[in-house]
Copies of this chain bind each other. A is one copy, B any other.
Amino acid sequence: MDPVGFVPTMGYLHEGHLSLVRKARRDCDSVVVSIFVNPTQFAHNEDINTYPQDIARDLEILETQDVDFVWIPKAGDMYPPGFQSWVSVDELTLPLEGIFRPEHFRGVTTVVAKLFNCVRPNYAYFGQKDYQQAVVIQRMVIDLNFPIEVVVCPIIREEDGLAMSSRNVYLKPEQRKAATVLNRSLVKASQVFEFGERDADTLRTVVKETILEEPLAQLQYISCANLETLEELDGMVERCVLLIAVLFGKTRLIDNVLIGD
């Protein structure tokens, strides 16, 4: 059977999404893109009602990408009356995003399992920008025996280094400038590592001090974690992922970098 590639998105597409579509196009005979702002992964106090949407623009963009199917499910079809089944992943969803968004990953894994069962892809493409999400979905695929290969693609950045995200449109001009601090802080820690620093706590401190220099940035977490288990590391590290979440006003941005990998 010819391979089917699947790129699940919440729409408002940017170059990050398109890098996934292009990778799917290279790997697969058929490419399916879904656009669905999944209500179950937003908490009541979160931004589902303001989440940026522009289906017409998304379809125009996808027209240029040689996509075979674009699927735009309706919330009422995905969550019909009586809906009550959930897919959840335990330990991996507890730290980092899980602390600030406790119900988030249950919504993500449930909708991704549903989308997988509808599309039945051979390959599914996710961005490294949502690193914890990618690790959680990889775990779900293994644990629940989905016959799917999860492909995690590199973060795509704006010219000034800000990781592309649909939520970047929320940023006011001065916040947008300040938001480059996420990438700058991670690059600085990477350089410190390249120069020989191996202490996890020092790497975290380098990131932290860079972010604290930016008055508009409100740090939520900084983690130096094991790549597979997301467990916080101490002492000397040869490989790790540095993950950060930062608020600019109400806009929450995340970013990460692999170190020594």
A92 to chain B, nearest CB (A): 7
Residue in B80, B113, B120, B143 whose CB lies within 8 Å of A84: B143
Cross-chain contact B89 with A88 (CB below 8 angstroms): no
Cross-chain contact A117 with B146 (CB below 8 angstroms): yes
Verify if A253 is at the interface (C-beta below 8 Å from B).
no
Cross-chain contact B84 with A139 (CB below 8 angstroms): yes
A73-92 near B? 1/0 per residue, CB < 8 Å: 00000001011111111111
Q: How many copies does the complex hold?
A: 2
Cross-chain contact A144 with B113 (CB below 8 angstroms): yes
Cross-chain contact B85 with A87 (CB below 8 angstroms): yes
Cross-chain contact B139 with A82 (CB below 8 angstroms): yes
For A115, give the chain B residue with the smallest CB separation.
Answer: B145
Q: A108-137: which residues lie under 8 A (CB-CB) from chain B?
A: 109-110, 113-114, 117-118, 120
A72 to chain B, nearest CB (A): 16
Return chain B residues, CB-CB under 8 Å to A84: 89-92, 139, 143
A135 to chain B, nearest CB (A): 11
Verify if A249 is at the interface (C-beta below 8 Å from B).
no
Return chain B residues, CB-CB under 8 Å to A83: 143
Cross-chain contact B85 with A140 (CB below 8 angstroms): yes
Cross-chain contact B85 with A86 (CB below 8 angstroms): no
For A83, give the chain B residue with the smallest CB separation.
Answer: B143
Return chain B residues, CB-CB under 8 Å to A147: 117-118, 120
Interchain CA distance A86-B86 in the complex, whole Å: 8
A49-72 near B? 1/0 per residue, CB < 8 Å: 000000000000000000000000
Cross-chain contact A87 with B89 (CB below 8 angstroms): no
Return chain B residues, CB-CB under 8 Å to A92: 84
Return chain B residues, CB-CB under 8 Å to A140: 85
Q: A139-B82, A139-B84 are in contact. Are A117 and B144 (CB under 8 A)?
A: yes
| Most B Cβ at <10 Å: residue of A88, A90, A147 | A88
Extra A-B contacts (4), CB below 8 Å, given A82-B229, A117-B144, A118-B147 = A80-B142, A84-B89, A84-B90, A114-B145
- Which residues from chain A sit less than 8 Å from chain B, CB to CB? 80, 82-92, 109-110, 113-114, 117-118, 120, 139-140, 142-147, 229
Give 16 A-B contacts (CB < 8 Å), ordered by A residue: A84-B89, A84-B90, A84-B91, A85-B87, A85-B88, A85-B143, A85-B144, A86-B87, A86-B89, A87-B87, A88-B88, A110-B144, A114-B143, A117-B145, A117-B147, A120-B147
